[in-house]
Structure 1
Amino acid sequence: MELWIIFSKLIIILFLSISYIHSETSHLTWIILSILMYISLNITLYLVRLNKVKISIHLVSIILIYTSFREVNPLFLLLLPNNIYELFWSFFEKKWLLLLVGLLPLWLVPQNQALYGLIALFCFVVNYMTSHYSNRLIHYEHTLDKMRIDMQRLSKSLNENKEYIRQSEYTYRLEERNRISQQIHDSIGHSMTGALIQMEAAKTLMTIDQTKAVELLQNAINISKEGIEDIRITLKAMKPATEQIGLQRLKLFIEEFSIQHQLRMPFVYKGNIELISPIQWKIMLENITEAFTNSLKYSGASEIAIDIQVLNKLVRVDVRDNGKGIESGKLVKGLGIVGMEERTASVKGTVIVDGSNGFSVTTLLPIA
């Protein structure tokens, strides 16, 4: 922002130089020397950082301007407003009062009052714009720093939450493994041990009391059957439902696709999801994947909506985007759509493709 003030000074110096070139003066050497001294002081002004040194340089520059005005040429007074504004800008809350201070030297130049007033107003506008945009820039930098700190804090919190979730999942898996191990030990292990004891006893009594041996063997068989049934019940309780696997897999796929391609992807499902068979879940997921790929390639959509409805006799899966679509007569079925139709036809289903309002692919699967 200081460049604006520097440019304004250079413009005034250029104006003075042109004025001297077209005027007859005997003080050309002093004029050049004064201008060079003024330029040197102002270059030094923007190289130092200490406020006390800057104030001193401003005061020396003002003294140089006034001396040159009195001894060399009256036009040197045109350089004064910029230095006055720079020196006193931070001390005036109401900036228009500083403009009045910059206009005070008007009485020193009765012959060039209009020119001096115009230069003073021009320098005031430049300083005001510089101050205004510098303050805005500082505000934006502070806001950016605050946002950066907030982002770091949120990233740290997110990482901590991820670590907490990971540890929780790991703890849950350990607890589940411990529960299953304990269940196998308490029920199945005891059953198998009891059956083994019965068979060992039957082996011993085989030559002594065959009737008792047969009874012990039958007990061992019964205990083994109970153990096998316990194993089946345990495994059935451990195995997640098919609809849970299919639904969670689909949700995860939609979430990953949405994040990867920066798309809005609302997903709704209605009806009894348990009626969908594993093979239907497989076909649905493959058709949805193909529909996503087509939308991404050809439609230019920003949103893809997925709607699954389980009706009385069929499952309806609708994938619709808000892209440019395609006229029905110009629709050419490529390998992707043909593949969807073949997969769906294998379970006596139907695929409907529509490009009139965005692009949609509807899969209809019969419920057995």
Structure 2
Amino acid sequence: MDFWMIITKLILIIYIAFTNAYFQGQDLGWVIFVLLIYFCLNLLAYIFHSTTIRKVMLFFTALFIILCQHVLDPSLIILLPLCLFELMSYYIQKSWVLLLVSCLPELVLKESLRIPYGLSTSLSFVIFYLVFTHTKKLTLYTDRLDKMRQDMQRLTRKLNENEAYIKQSEYTLKLEERNRLSQEIHDSIGHSMTGALIQMEAAKHVMNTDKEKATDLLQNAINISKEGIESMRLTLKNMKPETDQMGLNRLRLLIDAFSSKHGIPAPFTHKGNLDKITPLQWKVIIENTGEALTNVLKYANATVVAIDIQVLNKFVRLEIKDNGQGMEKLKKGLGIVGMEERTAALHGTIIVDGSKGFSVTTLLPLAT
């Protein structure tokens, strides 16, 4: 706003100076001097960011214009409207009131000055109104942007705090799981081994005097050891996740990470008994899915990619299909070749189709 106000005032100053020079005014030197003082006062008003100082400078500038036009050159009065607009805008918000107040000097001006003053008032009002409205909108947008930036910073801070909390929670859960495992092993194995050791120590002492008693004690130690080993086996079996759960969770993590990082929806579906899929087959499925998603990101220019697993009677079928640009003539890159080699190692097959979008299908035979 300040820049356009200065430009407008410079235009008015040049107009007054040119008019005086053209009509060869007797006080041209003094007029130029007054115009320079007026310009310096306005620069001071714009330099200081304090609202109070600016109001004071604008007030004295208005008085200076009124005094100089009365004493020196009446044409200086055309500088007054813009100064009044700036000064009164701090107190009056309605534009029509500003225009009405700035037109009041018309009542006391000479007939020869009313038209120039009216034109100056009209021009100054239009420029001031446009600049003031634009500045107001710009300030509003800037405030909104600052608020959005603060919200983003707050959300980022909360996200970081949540991530730290999640990591701490995961670490705590691991510690709790380790503690639970340690306690269960201690309860199941420790007590059994201690009991078996006591039985064997007792058998050692009575072995020479009562062989039958020693045999019974050793048999008790064997039974206690077997029970302890079986208890530990059941504990470890209950803790170990199923193969299909491990593979499925790893695949879901891969797909979710791809979708959230790159903003491409990746719906995942599966059908059939996933227990039939072996750990090696899960490894190939996950690696082929990762390679296919990488190719989608590089070449497909797709907006969605679908992943589907079906466990059929004879084989497992994995399909990764996108809605991208496809490829009429297939050129196998290192990614596709690597997928074929991994799949062939398990006696499987890769089928690639680029006619409608791009799809990669992995077929792995099930163990009979």
Q: Would you call these one fold, judging by a TM-score over 0.5?
A: yes
* Superposed CA RMSD: 2.6
Write the mapping of 1:76-95 to structure 2, written as runs, cut at 5 A: 76-95=76-95
| CA distance in 2 between partners of 1:321 and 1:21 (Å) | 77
Counterpart for residue 254 of structure 1: 255
Residue 350 of structure 1 contacts residue 365 of structure 1 at CA under 8 Å; is this kept in 2? yes
Distance 1:249 1:104, change over 3 A: same
| CA distance in 2 between partners of 1:352 and 1:247 (Å) | 22
Distance 1:168 1:212, change over 3 A: same
Residue 259 of structure 2 contacts residue 266 of structure 2 at CA under 8 Å; is this kept in 1? no
Write the mapping of 1:286-325 to structure 2, written as runs, cut at 5 A: 286-325=287-326
Q: Give the TM-score normalised by structure 1.
A: 0.88
Q: Percent identity?
A: 51
Counterpart for residue 356 of structure 1: 355
Q: Give the TM-score normalised by structure 2.
A: 0.88
Moved more, 282-291 or 119-128: 119-128
Cα offsets for 1:165-202 (capped at 9, x unmatched): 34433333333223222222222222222222333333
Residue 2 of structure 1 contacts residue 130 of structure 1 at CA under 8 Å; is this kept in 2? no
Counterpart for residue 26 of structure 1: 26
Write the mapping of 1:10-159 to structure 2, written as runs, cut at 5 A: 10-106=10-106, 108=109, 110-111=111-112, 113-159=114-160
Counterpart for residue 343 of structure 2: 344
| CA distance in 1 between partners of 2:325 and 2:134 (Å) | 43
| CA distance in 1 between partners of 2:117 and 2:52 (Å) | 29
| CA distance in 1 between partners of 2:355 and 2:84 (Å) | 70
Secondary structure in structure 2 of the residue aligned to 1:46: helix
TM-superposed deviation, 1:27: 1.5
| CA distance in 2 between partners of 1:251 and 1:270 (Å) | 11
Distance 1:161 1:339, change over 3 A: closer
| CA distance in 2 between partners of 1:116 and 1:274 (Å) | 92
Counterpart for residue 220 of structure 2: 219
Cα offsets for 1:190-229 (capped at 9, x unmatched): 2222222333333344433444433433333332222222
Letter in 1 for 2:365: P
| CA distance in 2 between partners of 1:321 and 1:307 (Å) | 12
Write the mapping of 1:268-287 to structure 2, written as runs, cut at 5 A: 268-271=268-271, 272-287=273-288
Secondary structure in structure 1 of the residue aligned to 2:111: coil
Letter in 2 for 1:8: T
Moved more, 224-233 or 249-258: 249-258
TM-superposed deviation, 1:287: 0.6
Residue 263 of structure 1 contacts residue 303 of structure 1 at CA under 8 Å; is this kept in 2? no
| CA distance in 2 between partners of 1:313 and 1:122 (Å) | 87
Q: Which runs of 5+ in 2 are unaligned?
A: none
| CA distance in 1 between partners of 2:53 and 2:168 (Å) | 60
Distance 1:114 1:246, change over 3 A: farther
Distance 1:13 1:273, change over 3 A: farther
Letter in 2 for 1:353: V
Q: How many residues align?
A: 365
| CA distance in 2 between partners of 1:279 and 1:120 (Å) | 86
Counterpart for residue 234 of structure 2: 233
| CA distance in 2 between partners of 1:339 and 1:161 (Å) | 38
Letter in 1 for 2:85: Y
Distance 1:58 1:338, change over 3 A: closer
